[in-house]
Amino acid sequence: MKAGKKLSDIKELPAFFPDNDIVRTDIVDYALEIDYFDSHVGKILDFLESTGELDNTLVIVTSDNGMPFPRAKSDEYEYSNHVPLAIMWGKNIKDPGRVINEYVSFIDVAPTFLEAAAMSWEESGMHDTPGESLLPFLQGETNRSKDFVLIGKERHDVGRPNDSGYPIRGIVRNGWMYLRNYSPESWPAGNPQTGYTNVDGSPTKTEILKSRHNPDTKFYWDLAFGKRPDEELYYLADDPYCIKNLSSDEKHIAMKDSLKNTMIAELKKQNDPRMFGEGYIFDAYPYLRDK
């Protein structure tokens, strides 16, 4: 037991993790870190209240993309992108307690702050953004112009020759997730000889690395570190852990094509170089480090 938490408090582990005391202890340690973060958020809110600024402050609390575990952080699955979001703005939020089932994204945060400060995006002088302000939700609206979010990555950490990336683009819409892996010949978590360095070291990572040596548990290694197909498709309501890839299922070809076409059309609007055969540009960018 750690700080009042027990391994039995974990009601369910993600299906891409082995269920044993080592992994459960790792998850409990992570829960303690989250509690520590939450305690500091509480201190910040208490300070704002003590200065009389709480009702006048738009507070947005979210997290990095995915918990630092295999098949989560540095990936594009549900556990990589479905992260917490809490917004507080005192009396400026109309009809609190409403439930709004709309997709939102990190790219919406900056437009939200600017609109709250009564500044247009054009006045900011920043490059155009596909993000949309969330202020209408706070003011009582329940719908937005888009019913999907785009996800993706290029380079993350190191671990391949020339530190090349593992490019992915994806879309989440109506409970479906479509992913396109643009370099399926590469190792998604970094090369074996470098230690799969796109995944942080942890007891859970060690357990999954060990699982490769047992045919009954190699499943976990395949999901976390094995090579992946060109396309992946998941129905999140039935498969939140993104285990069953439906991309080759004839019953879902129409859904896959619809999601893919929408994703490509939207990314072309954003001038994504990868949509025009120029994805090499991302690997050409130099790393900038302090000297």
**CA–CA dist 244, 235 (Å, integer):** 9
59 vs 98, residue with greater confidence: 59
**pTM for the full model?**
0.93
> What is the model's pLDDT at position 2?
60
Residue whose C-alpha is closest to residue 146's, from 185, 172, 176, 179: 172
Long-range Cβ pairs for the range 135-139 (8 Å, 24+): 137/100, 137/102, 138/87, 138/89, 138/92, 138/93, 138/94, 139/94
Only one residue has tokens 């009809």, namely 95
The pLDDT of 277-290, averaged and rounded, is 85
> Which tens digits make up the pLDDT trace of 104-122?
999 999 999 999 999 888 8
Size (the chain), residues: 291
Q: Assess whether pLDDT exceeds 90 at residue 144.
A: no
Q: Assess whether pLDDT exceeds 80 at residue 291.
A: no
> Which tens digits make up the pLDDT trace of 9-26?
889 999 999 999 999 999
> What is the model's pLDDT at position 81?
94
Q: Return the domain boundaries, the chain.
A: 58-284
Helices 203-211, 21-50: inter-axial angle, 10-degree rounding: 150
218 pLDDT band (50/70/90 cuts)?
very high
Residue pair 89/138 in contact (Cβ under 8 Å)? The answer is yes
> Which tens digits make up the pLDDT trace of 64-96?
888 999 999 889 999 999 999 999 998 899 988
- Residues near 97 by Cβ (< 8 Å), separated by ≥ 6? none
Indicate the DSSP class of residue 2. B
Positive or negative torsion for Cα 254, 256, 257, 263: positive
| Domain 58-284 CATH class label | alpha beta
